[in-house]
């Protein structure tokens, strides 16, 4: 099972610079041209569910507007895996 992730963009800080969009290795971010932040910028948003939660977008964001969440698959212990017979 693959690692999955998602982001949340804080509209109060995002100024729509697009650095996160350019940096995303999964190509799942874009600027939302249909919405404006309270400051009048087009914020970043996820466009697909293939985010891995790598965090590169948050690292390159100059305004710390992105929070990254990551869900990793649960591993079974060896003892529990051996019981499945």
- Going from the N-terminus, what domains does the chain have, and what CATH number goes with each? 4-82 (3.30.70.20)
| Nearest-angstrom CA–CA distance, 1 and 19 | 30
Q: Which DSSP state fits 43? A: -
- pLDDT tens figures, 2-33: 789 999 999 999 999 999 999 999 999 999 99
| Nearest-angstrom CA–CA distance, 7 and 19 | 15
Q: How confident is the model at residue 82 (pLDDT cuts 50, 70, 90)?
A: low
Query: Looking at the whole model, is its pTM more than 0.85?
Result: no
Which residues are CB-contacts of 4 (< 8 A; sequence separation ≥ 6)? 49, 51, 52, 53, 70, 71
């Amino acid at each position: 099972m693959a690692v999955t992730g998602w982001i949340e963009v804080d509209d109060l800080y995002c100024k729509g610079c697009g650095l996160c969009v350019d940096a995303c290795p999964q190509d799942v971010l874009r600027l939302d041209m249909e919405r404006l932040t309270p400051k009048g910028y087009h914020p970043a948003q996820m466009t697909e569910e293939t985010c891995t939660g790598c965090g590169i977008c948050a690292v390159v964001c100059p305004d710390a507007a992105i929070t990254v969440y990551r869900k990793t698959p649960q591993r079974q212990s060896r003892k529990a895996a051996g019981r499945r017979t």
